[in-house]
Chain A
Amino acid sequence: MSEAPKPHRPTTEARWVRVTTTLVSLVFLGLFLVLPLIAVFVEAFRSGVGAYFASFQDPDALAAIRLTLMVAAIAVPLNLVFGIAASWAIAKFHFKGKSLLITLIDLPFSVSPVVAGLVFILLFGAQGLLGPWLRAHDVEIIFALPGIVLATVFVTFPFVARELIPLMQDQGTADEEAALSLGASGFKAFWTVTLPNVRWALLYGVLLCNARAMGEFGAVAVVSGHIRGETNTMPLHVEILYNEYNFVAAFAVASLLALLALLTLAAKSFLEWRYGDAIAARAAH
């Protein structure tokens, strides 16, 4: 009697294939992600804990942190509103130019942030299209907070919309119609049905949007003007410190940014765990 073959799932590959692919991804991840992250913290603490925390006593560093938080606090809510409006329009209504709108939402992903920054210089800069008018009316955009916010909004606006559109399209309009037929006003239906249906995806989009808003370098570098203590965000401040060979301070601020990223990641994983349930419930629905 011949030995029965081992039960074998058709999608399972040979052992060496599994080991190799896993190993390749792990090595890659370690080399390009984990190692640099560790390096940031090692460099930051190289001269001891005291020097590390002293870096944050510097008024310029504090100003950079404040500015970054302020930019994120303006840009993220703006993109939250834009993202909900755009995905609502795309998922629930039929109109001409819909696919064009979807493509345009992806534009910041495909355009280099530096180009985005330059566009704003061309528009609002001293030699720009609207420059003379702005100067005449004493409005500062470039090399000031409004310019930085504009550049950040541009770079981060796909995040919320991109999270919501597929989910809203998938959910369709039946829930809203049900709410309306039961007597709810359009606003009430949105508030009690549409928004709760997408809440996890929305939070997830906001987190990603926030992480990018705080970390954006290219577009902001072009429009900020690098005025210390005034228009330097955290990423720009890191660069300046680094160029001045002030490594401990540079890596200390960088570590703060990295920490923010790690926190976002943790929050995102938590949400995926929660949100995963929601997806399963929907599939069974």
Chain B
Amino acid sequence: MISLHGLTKVFPGGVRALDGIDLTIGDGEFFALLGPSGCGKTTLLRTIAGLETAGSGTISINQRDVTCLPPGRRNVAMVFQDYALFPHMDVTENIAYPLRIRKVPRAERLAKAADVARRLSLSELLRRRPAQLSGGQQQRVALARAIACHPTAFLFDEPLSNLDARLRLEARTFLKRLQRELAVTTVFVTHDQAEALALADRIAVMSRGRMIQVGTPAEVFQRPATTFVASFIGSTPMNLLPARAAGGSLYAAGAVLPAPAGLTDGDDLVYGVRPEYMDLSPTERPDAFPGTVSVLENLGTSTLVTLEEGGTFVQAVVDEGDEPRLGDHAWAVPRRALVYRDGELLAP
């Protein structure tokens, strides 16, 4: 278990990379730190590892306060974005390096390295240097090296970002299965929302050194707490339309929609609908967004349709075969929507 309390980190020059982080990560949990670049997610990971020192606040791992311990005594293993495999050592030496530091006898550590390598299907590559390995193999060696030292927690910095798109999906599945098998608490950093949704048990969405929302992938996807999270999560960006409440109804982009309770007329509102939760209707409806089909983007099994009306764009995803034609008039009917007031999600 990793507990962070009031963690703050200010870099020289006054950048607040971490701004009062409170977080508890459970035993065996696969936890994602998600956010755009510069949001502080990597700094948070490095602070947990001990590579950065916290300005204030405490870090404890398995009920042990490690805030002031050097990285080597925190019993965590980190996999770096570039894997940081030592280029002058072969695969065995790389995997056995943590054991060499712990003064494990040579024969024992070589046996241990071979054992871990076998579990990650690296047995054929033991004598190779990192330069002679593919990206995926390098990643597995880095994982093997982390596993070999039996840490209480794994820290992964963008573990999949150095792989090409095809391999990334395979590696993702592999990583998730490996984490399940090992059941070691794992924190990983990513800027890719799809990766976070697919891998993590829970996700923390970060922005400017703060945690905006912490929740399961389903929670974060279905009920983004702010418009920032709403725009960040989801493979097609959520429609976020300025809206106005009047007389119990909501007016947004030419549609009249039922308003949730507790709104006062004149509030600054945003009406959010994922394109996947829109239906396209060829006939006029008052509770739909009207527009002319201006762009069609083929997503494989579906198509992303962009409707334009008076400078406002609304996107909807339609199934294969149901695509309208460019220039058609259509109405996008929201199926499931969220309403934000001053950027914060309103309870339904």
Is A bound to B?
Answer: no
A-contacting residues of B (Cβ < 8 Å)? none
